[in-house]
Amino acid sequence: MYSNLAHNIYAQNNVGIESPVKLIEMLYEGVLRFNAQAKKSIKDGDVEKKVYWINRSIAIITELIVTLDKSGGEISSYLEGLYNYEIQLLTDASINKDIDKLNECSNVFKGLLEAWRESTNVAN
């Protein structure tokens, strides 16, 4: 259900995506943006929007899992476990209206985004 949702959303909005490297960056940024919206929705007491934004973040993370290069060895295994943990955090945040779990997930994705940008800038 979610497997291509995130990619389709970004592909529709960004027809001229330069590379898969840029797409990963955009997906990480999307999680951060959607988590911020979910946090605002929790603070506002808007259950419908909270569920909507958290589901959008989960869709992106699911897409990241599906597109992992399994031949990547330990790194891809680590990322798969990390992504699955982040989905669990978001699920718990949604059920319990837990902003701390949303913040924890966002902090992980901020770190991933920073590391991704550093590693891809070195490669380019």
10-25 confidence digits (pLDDT tens): 555 554 556 888 999 9
Instruction: Determine the pLDDT at residue 2.
Output: 47
First to last CA, the chain: 34
Contacts for 6 with CB less than 8 Å, ≥ 6 apart: 27, 30, 59, 60, 62, 63, 64
Q: What is the pLDDT of residue 3?
A: 46
Fold for domain 5-123? Four Helix Bundle (Hemerythrin (Met), subunit A) (1.20.120)
Residue with the bigger pLDDT between 109 and 9: it is 109
Mean pLDDT, range 33-41, rounded to an integer: 98
Instruction: For residue 20, give both structure tokens.
Output: 């898969």
**Domain edges within the chain:** 5-123
pLDDT tens digit sequence for 82-122: 999 999 999 999 999 999 999 999 999 999 999 999 999 86
Number of helices and strands (H, E) in the chain?
5, 0
